[in-house]
Amino acid sequence: MGDLEFHHIGIACRTLEVERRDHELLGYRAEGEVFEDPKQRIRGLFMTLGAMRVELLEPLGSGSPLDGYLKRGIKIYHQCFLCSDISRSILDLETSGARVVSPPQPAVAFDNRPIAFLLLPSQMLIELVERPR
């Protein structure tokens, strides 16, 4: 799939502070500050442990895309990949059967660079983030 590079695993959580403490017990450390993205309806925090990076995500009000996952008890929300050209990567993935569920839009967590969410044929949700130019 071209130049896709793994970036993080998104983890849905009801309470960011509880999940943060649990990850700190495992040795994870915060990478940056807690952020809020009203467009995405999430509050989040990146944490790292060696080369591993997770993005802890809490719903920001009602109607968050996390709601359905949390209601079903699903914690692993998505895998995220960096790409050079988000439009090209979307076309490549669509050619392989993926479906766009959230078209490119700016994201607070990535300095307003475009992100998009796609559902693979296996039902795995992935996030694409365009690299800085």
Band of residue 103 on the pLDDT scale cut at 50, 70, 90: very high
Cα distance between the two ends of the chain:
20
Q: Sheet containing 52-59: which strands, arranged edge to edge?
A: 29-37, 42-49, 52-59, 5-12, 76-83, 125-130, 114-119, 99-106
Mean pLDDT of the chain: 95
In the chain the domains, ranked by start, together with CATH numbers, are 5-130 (3.10.180.10)
Q: What is the pTM of this model?
A: 0.92
pLDDT, tens digit, 9 for 90 and up, residues 37-56: 999 999 999 999 999 999 99
Model confidence at 1: pLDDT above 70: no
Tell me, what's the pLDDT at 104? 97
The DSSP bridge partners found for residue 35 are 44
How far is CA 49 from each of CA 7, 54, 77, rounded to the nearest angstrom? 13, 9, 19
Tell me, what's the pLDDT at 105? 96
